[in-house]
């Protein structure tokens, strides 16, 4: 930048020799005005050189005003324009200024006057606002939530802006559909509710939130809506924002939870009923046995007690199975087997129930039913299906069991002539605690978990189960499909269990903290001519073992203090000729059985114990066969 030479002419001079006093006064007045102003003021000669700069200009450009004079301005100046320019400063930073220009003369020569106002902060604020707006617009358009701006004119709602999600759900805001609110796709009677919420948001000054069911040809959708009052438009319309979210899944989950809670309450009521009934029968049978003077009455009461205890044990086993399955604790013990043998066992297991209900049971079991399956669980599947058919068929009904090879699958079907299943119930028949009907008499009994076990155990075998019915009163059919093995050449031949030797004297130590249970077990064993002794805790068990030297120890696991596992380990480690240890426990899961084996128990019996199985174990331990 080059300084202009001083030609000795005064301010505002042109070609006149010396300016009049008035011109000097004008310049001094000009300087006084602009030097006190907040805006930067520059006088720029036509050749672009700065002729004057006020202090504000020096502050804007980062130089002393006197150093700016004689330097090139570097910005084109067009009189009468208002523009924004970037202003480089002496420290290397750049400010933004709004520049207004006009023509003038300076010291007698044509020039321009430029007024610059620092608008850097405003420009930055505007840029930040643009970026924020772009971010919000991106969020607005990309959001899966429905968003929009509406205007309220009387009872008419007009969408003035909708994001893509709202357009996709409600339709184009410009569309007007007969019977629907303009741009909302909601029924007119529903629209009145929206308007009420808009007005509430304006009245309260806070967002209004509500949920409603949006019915459309595609089905019902639940929406959670929030509306807020924005303000009045220049035309005087009320303007509101809205945000809506699809909460159908949440509402369905809530309904499912309510339904599950209702079914839980029903289940607890059923459980209480199912437990009280056999307990009442047992209690009455005990009283009869105590009062009866004839052998027939006592025998009958004993049979009632046995039958009801078996029923209670079955209920508890089913409940435990459901619990184990839900926790992933059931493990299948599969082997290659002929399903026909298992099916015949299942038929025999339910035959007393069929006879009690007066049903006819027909079976058709085809060849080639070789499976890789757990025989106990497979029998449980079929027993549950047959028992379910028996319960839900009126007395004198017909139940058919059909099993055949179908390609690479074995199908097991149970069909009945019972009460049938309503179409609305079919999708739920395999859910836990679900029953076709709940009545006061509860004549059909059960806890509603048998079919749940059927489905889960079938799927654990890699199969599937289905239920069909022509409707109430027209019977039902359940079909289990399981993968079949390709050949039957290696079909295992059923082995026959060896007959137990005739009973002889066995010394048995019964250890149980339940005195009644221990003494009843001892009485049964004594009736078989065995020598029995009872103790009721772990320490006493060890003392009795050393004094009595039993052949068999029936050991309850849940003992106070020293538990059954610890007692078993102590007995096993006390001498090389340890007795036969038999765990007797209310715990029947795999973990409990594994711990029993690890402690040295040869058998693990689950309460209530099958007496025949117990007697067979004791007889097999006879030291002198």
DSSP bridge pairs for 554: 510, 582
Phi-psi region of 456 (alpha: psi -120 to 50; beta: other; left: phi over 0): alpha
Query: What average pLDDT does range 268-289 have in this prediction?
Result: 74
Rounded Cα distance, 207 and 403, in Å: 65
> Where are the alpha helices (H) located in 143-247, listed in sequence order?
164-170, 188-204
In CATH terms, the fold of domain 258-326 is: Helix Hairpins (1.10.287)
What is 335-483's CATH number, 3.40.50.1860, 1.10.760.10, 1.10.10.410, 3.30.565.10? 3.30.565.10
Residues 6+ apart with CB under 8 A from 293: none
**CATH class of the structural domain 143-246:** alpha beta
Are 143-246 and 507-620 equal in CATH topology?
no
Rounded Cα distance, 582 and 617, in Å: 9
CATH of domain 21-122: 3.30.450.20
pTM of the model: 0.43
CATH of domain 507-620: 3.40.50.2300
> Which tens digit of pLDDT belongs to each residue from 15-61?
444 455 655 656 677 777 777 678 889 999 999 899 899 988 888 88
> Which tens digit of pLDDT belongs to each residue from 125-140?
888 888 888 888 888 8
Report the SS3 class of residue 601: coil
CA atoms within 13 A on the CB side of 40: 25
Q: Contact, 225 vs 213, CB < 8 A? A: no
Report the candidate in 109, 86, 110 with the shortest Cα–Cα distance to residue 97.
86
Q: Contact, 600 vs 483, CB < 8 A? A: no
Report the SS3 class of residue 480: strand
Q: What share of the chain is helix, strand, coil (3-state, %, to 5)?
A: 40, 25, 35
Report the candidate in 371, 423, 421 with the shortest Cα–Cα distance to residue 393.
421
> Which tens digit of pLDDT belongs to each residue from 523-560?
888 888 899 999 999 999 999 998 889 999 999 988 88
Rounded Cα distance, 469 and 77, in Å: 93
Domain ranges of the chain: 21-122, 143-246, 258-326, 335-483, 507-620
- Please, which pLDDT band fits residue 178 given cuts at 50, 70 and 90? very low
- Chain centroid to CA 17: 97
> Where are the alpha helices (H) located in 327-357, listed in sequence order?
339-357
For the beta carbon of residue 370, count every other beta carbon within 10 angstroms.
22
Rounded Cα distance, 258 and 226, in Å: 26
Query: What average pLDDT does range 297-317 have in this prediction?
Result: 81
Q: Contact, 312 vs 278, CB < 8 A? A: yes
Report the candidate in 519, 153, 447 with the shortest Cα–Cα distance to residue 278.
447
Alpha-carbon separation of residue 614 from 89, 201, 530 (angstroms): 103, 76, 13
Query: What average pLDDT does range 484-502 have in this prediction?
Result: 50
Q: Contact, 447 vs 433, CB < 8 A? A: yes
Q: What's the chain's average pLDDT? A: 82
């Amino acid at each position: 930048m080059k300084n202009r030479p001083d030609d000795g002419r005064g301010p505002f001079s042109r070609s006149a020799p010396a300016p009049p006093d008035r011109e000097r006064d004008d310049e001094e007045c000009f300087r006084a005005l602009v030097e006190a102003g907040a805006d930067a003021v520059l006088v720029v000669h036509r050749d672009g050189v700065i002729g004057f700069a006020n202090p504000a200009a020096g502050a804007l450009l980062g130089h002393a005003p006197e150093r700016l004079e004689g330097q090139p301005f570097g910005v084109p100046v067009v009189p009468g324009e208002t523009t924004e320019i970037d202003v480089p400063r002496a420290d290397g930073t750049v400010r933004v200024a709004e520049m207004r220009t006009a023509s003038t003369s300076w010291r007698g020569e044509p020039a321009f006057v430029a007024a610059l106002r620092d608008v850097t902060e405003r420009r930055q604020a505007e840029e930040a606002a643009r970026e924020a707006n772009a971010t919000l617009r991106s969020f607005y358009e990309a959001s899966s939530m429905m968003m929009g701006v509406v205007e309220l004119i009387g009872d008419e709602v007009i969408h003035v802006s909708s994001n893509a999600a709202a357009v996709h759900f409600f339709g184009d805001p410009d569309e007007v559909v007969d019977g629907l609110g303009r741009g909302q796709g909601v029924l007119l009677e529903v629209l009145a509710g929206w308007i009420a919420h808009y007005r509430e948001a304006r009245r309260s000054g806070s967002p209004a939130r509500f949920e409603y069911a949006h019915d459309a040809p595609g089905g019902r959708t639940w929406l959670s809506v929030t509306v807020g009052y924005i303000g009045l438009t220049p035309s005087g319309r009320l303007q509101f924002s809205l945000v809506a979210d699809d909460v159908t899944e949440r509402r369905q989950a809530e309904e499912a939870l309510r339904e599950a809670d209702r079914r839980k309450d029903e289940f607890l009521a059923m459980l209480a009923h199912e437990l009280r009934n056999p307990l009442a029968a047992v209690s009455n049978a005990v009283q009869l046995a105590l009062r009866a003077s004839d052998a027939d009455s006592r025998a009958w009461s004993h049979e009632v007690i046995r039958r009801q205890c078996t029923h209670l044990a079955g209920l508890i086993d089913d409940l435990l199975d459901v619990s184990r399955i839900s926790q992933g604790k059931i493990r299948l013990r599969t082997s290659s087997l002929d399903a026909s043998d298992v099916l015949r066992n299942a038929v025999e297991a339910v035959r007393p129930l069929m006879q009690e209900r007066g049903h006819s049971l027909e079976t058709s079991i085809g060849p080639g039913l070789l499976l890789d399956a757990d025989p106990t669980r497979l029998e449980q599947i079929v027993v549950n299906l047959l028992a379910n058919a028996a319960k839900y068929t009126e007395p004198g009904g017909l139940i058919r069991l059909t099993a055949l090879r179908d390609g690479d699958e074995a199908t097991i079907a149970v069909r009945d002539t019972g009460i049938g299943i309503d179409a609305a119930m079919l999708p739920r028949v395999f859910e836990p605690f679900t029953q076709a009907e709940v009545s006061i008499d509860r004549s059909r009994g059960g806890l509603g978990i048998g079919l749940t076990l059927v489905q889960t155990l079938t799927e654990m075998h890699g199969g599937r189960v289905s239920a069909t019915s022509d409707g109430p009163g027209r019977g039902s059919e359940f079909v289990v499909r399981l993968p079949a093995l390709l050949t039957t050449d290696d079909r295992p031949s059923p082995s026959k269990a060896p007959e137990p030797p005739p009973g002889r004297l066995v010394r048995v130590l019964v250890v149980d903290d339940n005195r009644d249970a221990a003494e009843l077990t001892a009485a049964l064993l004594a009736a078989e001519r065995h020598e029995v002794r009872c103790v009721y805790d772990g320490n006493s068990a060890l003392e009795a073992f050393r004094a009595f030297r039993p052949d068999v120890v029936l050991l309850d696991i849940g003992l106070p203090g020293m538990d059954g596992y610890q007692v078993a380990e102590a007995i096993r480690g006390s001498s090389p000729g340890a007795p036969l240890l038999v765990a007797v426990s209310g715990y029947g899961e795999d973990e409990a059985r594994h711990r029993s084996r690890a402690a040295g128990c040869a058998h693990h019996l689950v309460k209530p114990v099958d007496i025949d199985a117990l007697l067979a174990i004791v007889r097999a331990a006879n030291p002198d066969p």
